[in-house]
Amino acid sequence: MKTASIVLAILVGAVGVMIAVTNKPTGFDRCVSIISGEIEDRALATAATVDPRDVEIEAARICAGAA
């Protein structure tokens, strides 16, 4: 019974580490979120209404170097 508990604890820990590694945002994701925030802040300052999908697309283009 003691061995089964140790094995279970190791498996649970390994799954936790795997989830943490796979859910870590990439540099591109961080770039898109930062640029999106800046676009939305600029839109708020000018009282403009922007579509969130358009904001994300524009941010992705900027981060990819296409804009």
Q: Could you report the per-residue pLDDT of 13-51, keeping only the tens digit for each? A: 999 888 887 887 778 888 999 999 999 998 888 887 888
Nearest-Å Rg of the Cα atoms of the chain is 21
Q: Residue type at 48?
A: A
pLDDT score for 26: 78
Domain that holds residue 50: 25-67
d(CA 2, CA 8): 10
The gap between the terminal CA atoms of the chain, to the nearest Å, is: 61
User: With contact defined as beta carbons under 8 Å apart, do 49 and 43 qualify?
Assistant: yes
Domain annotation covers residue 7: no
Domain annotation covers residue 20: no
Domain annotation covers residue 59: yes
pLDDT score for 23: 80
Domain annotation covers residue 5: no
d(CA 66, CA 58): 9
Domain annotation covers residue 10: no
Domain annotation covers residue 3: no
The model's pTM:
0.57
> Into how many domains does the chain fold?
1
Domain annotation covers residue 61: yes
